[in-house]
Structure 1
Amino acid sequence: MRIIDAQIHLWAGPDAPPHHTRAPFTIDDALAAMNEAGIDRAVNCPAVWDADANAYAALAATDHPDRFATMAWFPLGPGGDRSLVESAMSAPGAVGLRFLLVDPADVARAADGGLDWLWRAADDRELPVALMVLPDDLPVIGTLAARFPRMRLTVDHLGALPWLRLPEAMAHLAALLDLARHPNVAVKATGIPGMATDPFPFPSTHDTLRRVVDAYGPDRVFWGTDITRMPCTWAECVTAFTEHLPWLTGRDLELVMGDAAAAWLRWP
Structure 2
Amino acid sequence: MHIIDAQIHLWAGESAPPHHWRAPYTVETALRDMDEAGVHRAVNCPAVWDADANDYAVEAAKQHPDRFATLGWFPLDETADESRVDAWLDKPGMLGLRFMLAAPDMADRIASGDLDWLWAAADRRKAPMGIMVLPPYLAAVGDVAARYPNMRLLIDHLAVNPFEKLPDAAAHLDALLALARHPNIAVKATAVPSMATDAYPFASTHGVLRQVFDAYGAQRMFWGTDITRLHCSWREAVTMFTEELPWLRGRDLELVMGRAVADWIGWH
TM-score bracket for the superposition, by shorter chain length: over 0.9
Aligned residue pairs, count = 268
Indicate if the aligned counterparts of 2:9 and 2:228 stay in contact, CA closer than 8 A: yes
Q: Quick one: distance in 1 between partners of 2:191 and 2:23?
A: 19
Identity percentage of aligned residues: 63
Determine helix, strand or coil for the equivalent of 1:256. helix
2:98 aligns with 98
Indicate if the aligned counterparts of 1:222 and 1:260 stay in contact, CA closer than 8 A: yes
Farther-moved stretch of structure 1 (86-95 vs 108-117)? 108-117
Determine helix, strand or coil for the equivalent of 1:97. strand
Once the two structures are TM-superposed, the CA of residue 111 in structure 1 deviates from its matched residue by: 1.4
Q: Quick one: distance in 2 between partners of 1:111 and 1:192?
A: 27
1:223 aligns with 223
Once the two structures are TM-superposed, the CA of residue 116 in structure 1 deviates from its matched residue by: 1.2
Farther-moved stretch of structure 1 (19-28 vs 48-57)? 19-28
Determine helix, strand or coil for the equivalent of 2:5. strand
Q: Quick one: distance in 2 between partners of 1:171 and 1:79?
A: 37
Alignment of 1:249-268 (within 5 A): 249-268=249-268
Q: Match for 2:154: what amino acid? A: T
Q: Match for 1:129: what amino acid? A: M
Once the two structures are TM-superposed, the CA of residue 57 in structure 1 deviates from its matched residue by: 0.1
1:164 aligns with 164
Q: Quick one: distance in 1 between partners of 2:209 and 2:118?
A: 31
Q: Quick one: distance in 2 between partners of 1:79 and 1:143?
A: 25
Once the two structures are TM-superposed, the CA of residue 112 in structure 1 deviates from its matched residue by: 2.0
Partner deviation per Cα, 1:241-264 (whole Å, 9 max, x = no partner) = 000000000000000000000000
Q: Match for 2:123: what amino acid? A: D
Q: Match for 1:138: what amino acid? A: L
Q: Quick one: distance in 2 between partners of 1:245 and 1:85?
A: 39
Alignment of 1:172-251 (within 5 A): 172-251=172-251
2:58 aligns with 58
Determine helix, strand or coil for the equivalent of 1:42. strand
Partner deviation per Cα, 1:129-172 (whole Å, 9 max, x = no partner) = 01101211111110110000000111100000111111111110
Once the two structures are TM-superposed, the CA of residue 63 in structure 1 deviates from its matched residue by: 0.1
Indicate if the aligned counterparts of 1:15 and 1:22 stay in contact, CA closer than 8 A: no
Once the two structures are TM-superposed, the CA of residue 105 in structure 1 deviates from its matched residue by: 3.0
Determine helix, strand or coil for the equivalent of 2:219. helix
Q: Match for 1:263: what amino acid? A: D
* 5+ residue gaps, structure 2: none
Q: Match for 2:143: what amino acid? A: T
Determine helix, strand or coil for the equivalent of 1:99. strand
Partner deviation per Cα, 1:4-48 (whole Å, 9 max, x = no partner) = 000000000022000012520000000000011100000000000
Indicate if the aligned counterparts of 2:159 and 2:176 stay in contact, CA closer than 8 A: yes
Indicate if the aligned counterparts of 1:11 and 1:26 stay in contact, CA closer than 8 A: yes
Indicate if the aligned counterparts of 2:110 and 2:141 stay in contact, CA closer than 8 A: no
Q: Quick one: distance in 1 between partners of 2:111 and 2:257?
A: 33
Determine helix, strand or coil for the equivalent of 1:218. coil
* 5+ residue gaps, structure 1: none
1:2 is the counterpart of 2:2: yes
Once the two structures are TM-superposed, the CA of residue 79 in structure 1 deviates from its matched residue by: 4.1
TM-score using structure 2 length: 0.98
Partner deviation per Cα, 1:91-142 (whole Å, 9 max, x = no partner) = 1101111001123332232212211111100000001101101211111110
Q: Quick one: distance in 1 between partners of 2:177 and 2:22?
A: 34
Q: Quick one: distance in 2 between partners of 1:215 and 1:127?
A: 23
Q: Quick one: distance in 1 between partners of 2:126 and 2:155?
A: 17
Q: Quick one: distance in 1 between partners of 2:93 and 2:190?
A: 21
The 1:28/1:34 distance shift into structure 2, 3 A limit, reads same
Indicate if the aligned counterparts of 1:77 and 1:106 stay in contact, CA closer than 8 A: no
